[in-house]
Structures are given as C-alpha cells and as structure tokens.
Amino acid sequence: MADLAGEAIIPAMLKQRLDWHHRLSHLRARGPMLAVLFLGLMAASPTPVVRFVSFELRNVRGAQVAGRPSAVLQALTPILALEPDDPRVRLAAADAALNLGQPGVALGHLGSVGLDGRRWKTAGCVLARAQVASGAIDPLEDVLDRLGRSCPSNDPAWSAVVAQAQASGDMQAASRAARAWTEADPADPQAHYYLGLALALVDPPSALSPLKTAQALSPAPSPLADSLAQAIEDSLPSGDRAYEFAQVGQALARAGRWDLAAAAFAQAVDLSPGYVEARAYLGLALDRTGADGQQELMRASQAAPSASLPHVFLAEHWALKGDQQKAAQELRTAQSLEPDSPAIAAQLGGVLVGLGDLQSALLAYERAVELAPSSAEFQSLLAAFSLDHEIDVAGVGLPAARQAVLLDRASASHIDQLGFSYYLQGNPEMAEHLLGLGLRANPVSPAINYHLGLARLAVQKTDLAVVSFRQAAALDPGGIYAMLATRTLSRLQP
C-alpha cells in the first residue's frame, strides 16, 4: 500500500509543477497589466505566484514611501525576473537606480522597454533626469523639451543641465538651457539667476535684466547677482567689451567661482590679446581650477615687464606647486616693481614662513603694517604671526592685536587674538574676559572655544574648560582645533 501511495503522489506533484509553469507563462504574457491588476488577481485566484508578486509589490511600495531606493531595487529584482517587459516595473526600477546615483542603469531600464516619455509623463521626466545625470545632453533641445513637458519647473535637473553646459565650456548652450527654464517657470528666481549668470559669459549687458529679475523675485538677496549686475553696469560706459568681460571675471573670482571666472577672462583675452591684467587673471583662474596657468602668467609678465600683478600671481602659482623659493623670488620682483604695496609685503611674509625664515617674515609683516597702519587686516596678520610662533608676543603680537580690535571692534576673530595674546602673556583673567566677549560675538568659532578653554583651565575653572574644549572639538571635526581640544581633554579626563 505504501508503494501504491508513493506512486499516486508522483503524478500529483508533476501535475502541480505543470500548473505552476502554465500560470507563470500566463502571468508573463499579461505583464503590462500586472502592476494594475494584482489585487484583483489575488482576490479571484490567490495562487502562489500572485501572492508572491503582491507581497513583493508591497515591499516596493513600502521602500518607496520610506525613501530607500536600494530596497526598492532589491524588491523589484524578483518581479523583473517574472515581468521583464512590464514598463511600469522598469520605470520604478529606473527611478530607484537614478536615486541611487546610477543614471546609466536607469537609462538601461528605460531603453529596454522603449520608455521615451510618450506614454507616461513620469517616464519622460525620469528619462530627462537620467540623461542629465549621465551627461547625455546632446541634442540639448531634445532634453530641454523633455524637461519642459514632463518635469516640474523646480526640478534640480534644470540647474544641472545649465551647469553641465557651463562646465563643458559651451556658454551659448548654457544660456539656451537657462532661457528654457525661465520659459517653463517665469516666476522662479533661480531660473532667472542662472540665465543672468550664463548671459554674463556671452553678452554681459543682456545679463542685467535677468539678474535684476532674479533679485526682485527672490525672497533673499544674492550677493553674486548683485556683484555681477554692479560690475556690468560700471563697465558699460567704457564701451569696451573686453573690459566688460574682465569685470565679470573679477566679480566671479571674488565669489570663488573660478571656473566661470576663467571663461570670462578668456573672453576678454580673445577680444583683446594685449590686455595684460585679464591675461594674468586668466592664469590665476586656471591655477585655481586645477589647470596650469603658468603659460598665461609668463606671457603676461613678458608683455608688461614693469607690471607687478603677473609676478604676484606667478608667486601664487609656484606656491600651489609647492616651490616656495620661486614664489619668494616672484614676490621680491613684484615688491621691487611696487614697493609701497602692503598686500605684496604680507604675501611675501606668508611665503617666508613656509621657507622657515621667520625673522624675514616678521620684517615683511611689519612692513605691511607700516604701509597700511589703519588696516585691521594687516594688523591681524602681524598678530597672528607673532602668536602662532610665539615671537615677541609682548612687543609685537599684543600691540598688533589690540590695534586690530580698535580698528574693527565687531570682529570676533580680532577679539580672539587679543584674548589669546593676554593668555600667552600670563594674564588668563583678562584672556577669559575678552574671549567671553568674542564667544558672544561668534559662538560657533572653534578657535575662540579652544582658547577660552585654555584660559578657563588656567583660572581653575576645569568644568567650564571641559565644556569649551568639547564645543571646540564638535565645531571643528577633523580640524586642528578638534585635535588640540581632544588631546587636552584626554589629559583632563583620562
């Protein structure tokens, strides 16, 4: 009987397996409807496959709601194995891959089922985002059309496509992309700002209108938009297009946008090859972006042997290359050409510190102060040199720090220098008082918190010192003050 029972079981198992494969094939044939009909299927015929798919789809939805794209892809993997041609499943996988920073994978999912945005608006936006994220923005007009038809006007892909065009050096394309963004949402200040930024590198006068529109629409002022608009307006009376581009470059350089500044200075040099200052700034901008500006700087210095600016920038070039000797040589040349420049003297002081020639560095900083006695900046540089190296703090550091505070009473960093000067001079009570004032002016300064900790420790306020050291470490993760504060705390609390 046992053998007969076993023989009866085997055909039943084979029939169950054949039913499984039949239902699996049937589900694959109905793939496009699976995402919509799985609940109905489950109610009508709760087979193992349908239960499996519905369970995985719940996992997908849960991961989407939780904002976990890796979990979305993981949950979609078995569904994709069953339904590789379902466009909705592919779209979900593409969106998750894009959120994981894998635009190439997203494009693969979209392309495998021909999701070009004509059937679903969402697919068009995901495709546009993936193209922008992967750098595949050619032809640009197609990407812009897809963004305009399918994506919201505040989608980050708009600014990304403008930035990509700028990074490639195609400023005309950047301005076309930014203009399309403003057309998609005329009330978006960011769109007008990006258009103004792009046009400033193509046709500076035409950038004024979008820059001012951006400022009018924006709830918060944009320093760069203001600075660019002012630079363009100031340069217009000259009637010199090269000068306009150079002024745009200056404004961008002051804002730290050296990539765009390089493009502006290159435009100025193309229009006026003999424009020495623009060429020198072009060399500096190239250096600041990681390129090599030496050739442009050498050409500028050779074209104007009596100009100090190319030598100042050549000094920065060599300092970036780690050759302090050549940097000092260029600065001495610049100083011989412009002996009354406090900035050159101070820059020479910094290079001499790097060379270990502290006595000459002190003379250079003192020369800067002598040339600009009413400048808090140069007084502060002299004080910082004295305090950092503990060189004649009483005769140099303390008086310079005091003068810097008198010239700029609102500066927390100057108050910090003065307080630390008193600490080094053995007057921790005065140091604590001043550093407390500095902390009220700038409570998030790691330097002030660390110096205040030292002063409090010296006046036997150990508990308060520990608080200051912990704050300094928290405000400067991985920095010098975090290291010093942590080292001191380890001695106080082994």
Residues 140 and 195 placed together within one structural domain of the fold: no
Tell me which of 134, 151, 168 is where a domain ends.
151
Asked whether residue 165 is assigned to any structural domain, the reply reads yes
In this structure, how many other beta carbons lie within 10 angstroms of the beta carbon of residue 4?
A: 8
CATH code at position 26: 1.25.40.10
Q: Return the H-helix or E-strand segment holding 269.
A: helix 258-271
Mean pLDDT in runs of 10 for the chain (494 residues)? 37 41 36 33 41 51 59 62 65 70 68 56 75 76 79 82 85 89 90 94 95 92 93 95 97 95 96 96 96 96 96 96 96 97 97 96 98 97 97 97 97 98 97 97 97 97 96 96 95 79
pLDDT value for 170: 85
Quickly count: other Cβ atoms within 10 Å of residue 140's Cβ: 18
Residues 111 and 199 in one domain: no
Domain boundary among 97, 121, 151: 151
In a domain, 321, yes or no: no
Report the alpha-carbon distance of residue 479 to residue 472 in Å, rounded.
Answer: 10
Same domain, 99 and 128: yes
Distance, CA of 472 to CA of 458 (rounded, Å): 17
Specify whether 50 is located in the same domain as 71: yes
Q: Are residues 69 and 126 both part of a single domain?
A: yes
Give yes or no: residues 88 and 29 share one domain: yes
198 and 127 housed in the same domain: no
How many domains would you assign to the chain? Answer: 3
Residue 25 and residue 122 in one domain: yes
What pLDDT score was predicted for residue 81? 61
pLDDT of residue 9: 36
**101 in a structural domain:** yes
- Verify that 172 and 229 share a domain, yes or no: yes
Query: Is residue 402 one of the residues assigned to a domain?
Result: no
Q: Indicate whether 27 and 65 sit together in one domain.
A: yes
Confidence (pLDDT) at 77: 64
Residue 344 within any structural domain of the chain: no
Closest CA to 347 of 373, 312, 377: 312
186 prior amide bond cis, ω within 30: no
Residue ending a domain, among 117, 151, 185, is 151
- Of residues 374, 432, 429, the one with CA closest to residue 406: 374
Instruction: List the domain range (segments joined by +) for residue 181.
Output: 159-257
Give, in degrees to the nearest 5, the angle at Cα 25 between 23 and 29. 115
Contacts of 102 (CB under 8 A, 6+ apart): none
Flag whether 424 is in a domain: no
> Does residue 56 fall inside a structural domain?
yes
Domain CATH for 436: 1.25.40
Quick one: 229 exposed, middle or buried, by C-beta within 10 A (0-12, 13-18, 19+)?
buried
Q: Are residues 170 and 120 in the same domain?
A: no
Residues 51, 147, single domain; the answer is: yes
Residue 360, in any domain of the structure: no
- Structure token pair of residue 205: 């006068």
